[in-house]
Amino acid sequence: MDKIRGFEVAKGFEDKNINLPIRKTKYAAGYDIEAAEDCIIHSFKKGMKPTLVKTGLKAYMQEDEVLILANRSSNPGKKGLILANSIGVIDKDYYGNSDNDGHIMFAFYNIKEEDIEIKKGDCIGQGIFQKYFVVDNDVARGERIGGFGSTSR
């Protein structure tokens, strides 16, 4: 069977009992993604960097597809968690890259006054596969040379 799109466990997480994302209802667009390990997301203070929450996952897809990482609708109100980049964009060529094997992470800020504990297996967000289009005069020919945040290197 040819692989079309899906999730796999990223290198280094093979023995960590990572659950592959699933959709909970037949009309859900998003696949629920869990945290790969316990972590603390500290209350936001000016100048701090977002906390990267590991998923232990990587995603493969077709050439004209992207995986969008979205926050859970309950995260801001219940846990004070917002995505630092509003949405995450996982490109096809992020899969299997030499820096981190395409390991997907969620970048969170905590806007509550108290630190928030995330437990392994907590649902932290969702992934939505989508088609995308390019313009007629597209000239992109570059090749990815790394992992997280490497597109403009």
**Nearest by Cα to 63 from 136, 137, 133, 152:** 133
* Inside any domain, residue 147: no
- Determine, yes or no, domain membership for 152: no
pLDDT at residue 1, rounded to an integer? 76
Helix (H, G, I), strand (E, B) or coil at 93: helix
Domain-located, residue 90: yes
Domain assignment present for residue 149? The answer is no
Over residues 8-41, the pLDDT tens digits come to 999 999 999 999 999 999 999 999 999 999 999 9
Determine, yes or no, domain membership for 140: no
Range of the domain at 73: 6-131
pLDDT, one tens digit per residue, over 2-13 is: 899 999 999 999
Residue 63: which CATH number? 2.70.40.10
Count CA atoms within 13 Å of residue 146 on its CB side.
6
Return the minimum-mean-pLDDT range out of 109-118, 121-130, 135-144: 135-144
DSSP secondary structure string for all residues of 46-77: TTPPPEEEE--EEEE--TTEEEEEEE-TTIII
Q: Does any domain span residue 24?
A: yes
Query: Does residue 83 form part of some domain?
Result: yes
**Lowest mean pLDDT, pick from 21-30, 61-70, 100-109, 136-145:** 136-145
In the chain, the number of structural domains is 1
Please state the separation of Cα 129 from the chain's center in Å. 12
Residues 6+ apart with CB under 8 A from 73: none
